[in-house]
Amino acid sequence: MERYFNTEGRCRPDLHYMVRLDDRLRKMKEQFVDRGKYFVINRGRQYGKTTTLMALAEYLKEEYAVFSLDFQMMSSSNFSDEETFVISFIESLEDLMSLKKDLRESIDTEAFYRLTALKDSRRISLDKLFRGLSGICGNAGKRIVLIIDEVDSASNYRVFLDFLAMLRGYYLNRDIRPTFHSVILAGVYDIKNLKLKLRPEEEHQYNSPWNIAADFDIPMSFSVSQIEGMLEEYEADHHVGMDVKAAADEIYQYTSGYPYLVSLICKLLDEKLPGSEPFLNDRNIWAREGIAEAVKMLLKTNTPLFDSLIKQLDTFQDLRELTRGILFQGKRVTFSPAEKSINLGKMFGFLKENGGGVEIANRVFEMFLLNFFIAEESVKSEIYFQGQSDRNQFIADHKLDMKLVLEKFVIHFADIYGDNDQNFVEEYGRKFFLLYLKPIINGGGNYYIEARTRDAKRTDVIVDYLGEQYIVELKIWHGDEYNKRGEKQFVEYLDYYHQDKGYLLSFNFNKKKERGVKELRIADKVIVEAVV
């Protein structure tokens, strides 16, 4: 069977093109499992947790007996009370034993029988469950590792927190009572941040019954070299003639190695672009233009990952405002895991720490969030409707006339917002330009904000339109000296992007300013500067 790129559920190397996990599994075994650590793998949705856990269970089975469970396979009724949970847990182990010959050979039959007999006991409780599990661990032919995936499914149940507390108690007393050698839980939420409503009338409360957990610091995102290795396997099978290193780097630039996004871009390149204009040549598909087209298609796809992202923004309004501030106002937010919104955004996978500050986790998320917020604003935005009205003026010979875009924006901005004060323009000016630009390039391209230059004074917008790239710097005027330094930096930035022409949009509050658009030549670059 021919392998393919998979975005639905677990990835298998015999069926799918995937990043090799050998190095990650080795580190997890040596740094955590072999040392008897209890730990949590908490990452955002579709981050490859299940694929990693299943691969780890297979990787460990020669040396360990692995109880690998998935709480997603248990219904909410299984957590309704202690007795029901204990019976469900034992039945899950019975199912596992019936499927795994290696487990049956490692687990003492008599000890396991005593555990299953608990189901017929008059009083079924967690303490009896753990005594039975302790008997199994003490008599097993191999040390036992417990893996539980999708612990989020149980996160709001009292019995689950009691279960965690029992795990903790046995861990602390394992010199006296045999117990699991290592325990691995996986889900989106870090169980140290679980909140439980003990009674309907009570507020949610933080609970930490599992503060024994070691910090899991092994990267789960893909590196450029890992993506490159996956693409090398694809190239060996299909001979499309791609520059593997360049393609891997370009995909990483958009995704920062987020596993699902990497796989989805590759899937679109492999399945959707071949045979379409202008990608009749397979080699062009796996180049910068093809990858940009795949990203454009991705952003129009209704994925569960994007649905989850929006759900979290709707649920946590402080997180929404934090994200908007970073995107539209260039806010520099100091990273602190103790700050609730930052911690939530990082846990859900769409914020990250970089150089002590908070950033959107990757370019795809940034583009998606910009589109989402712009769509919200567009319903009531006059400048957006002006962009819609003007859009047919700017395209000639399949190219975008960015100079004319700036000229029109300067006129509209003065007409609509000219009477507002400086604080208003500083806070919203860049958002208004993006609102104006969106309907103009919609359908033919995308734009994103360059994270390396985003701050309160300067933001660079990269516009990809029909295979052409345009660099637009948006800045707040802070005097002639600052402006000259900024122009020099912009020239260097154009060199980085191999562009001979760039565009400056300055929000200038000097009363003597000269509003309008002009061309400058700095070094060997042409700079089109617009002042509002």
Which pLDDT score, from 0 to 100, does residue 457 have?
Answer: 59
Lowest pLDDT segment from 38-42, 177-181, 210-214, 365-369: 210-214
201: helix, strand or coil: coil
pLDDT category of residue 385 using cuts at 50, 70 and 90: very high
pLDDT category of residue 475 using cuts at 50, 70 and 90: confident
Is the pLDDT at 451 greater than 80? The verdict is no
pLDDT category of residue 194 using cuts at 50, 70 and 90: low
pLDDT category of residue 18 using cuts at 50, 70 and 90: very high
Q: Is 239 left (phi over 0), alpha (psi -120 to 50) or beta?
A: left
**Do residues 157 and 202 touch, judged by C-beta distance below 8 A?**
no
Going by C-alpha positions, the residue among 341, 311, 306, 348 that lies closest to residue 323 is 341
Which pLDDT score, from 0 to 100, does residue 478 have?
Answer: 65
| Predicted confidence (pLDDT) per residue in 492-512, tens digit | 888 888 899 999 998 877 766
CB atoms within 10 A of CB 389: 12
Cα–Cα dist 259/151, whole Å: 20
Which whole number is the average pLDDT over 344-362? 90
Which pLDDT score, from 0 to 100, does residue 200 have?
Answer: 45
| Half-sphere exposure of residue 529: CA atoms within 13 angstroms, side-chain side | 24
User: What is the value of pTM for the model shown?
Assistant: 0.88
What backbone phi and psi angles, to 5 degrees, belong to 42?
Answer: -115, 115
Cα–Cα dist 460/444, whole Å: 20
Is the peptide bond preceding residue 259 cis, with omega within 30 degrees of 0? no
Spell out where 395-457 has E strands: 395-396, 399-400, 445-449
Is the pLDDT at 202 greater than 60? The verdict is no
Q: SS3 for 87-128, per residue?
A: HHHHHHHHHHHHHCHHHHHHCCHHHHHHHHHHHHCCCCCHHH
Which whole number is the average pLDDT over 392-419? 89
Is the pLDDT at 198 greater than 50? The verdict is no
Is the pLDDT at 101 greater than 80? The verdict is yes
Q: What percent of the chain has pLDDT over 70?
A: 92
Which whole number is the average pLDDT over 406-420? 87
Spell out where 127-169 has E strands: 144-149
pLDDT category of residue 421 using cuts at 50, 70 and 90: low
Average pLDDT of the chain, as a whole number? 88
Lowest pLDDT segment from 161-165, 178-182, 439-443: 439-443
Which whole number is the average pLDDT over 64-89? 93
| Predicted confidence (pLDDT) per residue in 356-383, tens digit | 989 999 999 999 999 899 989 888 889 9
Give residue 161's Cα distance to chain centre. 28
Which pLDDT score, from 0 to 100, does residue 199 have?
Answer: 45
Strand 445-449 and strand 458-465: pairing?
A: antiparallel
Structure tokens at 63: 């040396």
| Predicted confidence (pLDDT) per residue in 144-173, tens digit | 999 999 988 887 788 988 999 999 999 999
Is the pLDDT at 270 greater than 80? The verdict is yes
Is the pLDDT at 196 greater than 80? The verdict is no
Cα–Cα dist 409/437, whole Å: 9
In 3-state terms the chain splits into helix, strand, coil percentages (rounded to 5) of 50, 15, 30
Which pLDDT score, from 0 to 100, does residue 204 have?
Answer: 47
Strand 395-396 and strand 399-400: pairing?
A: antiparallel
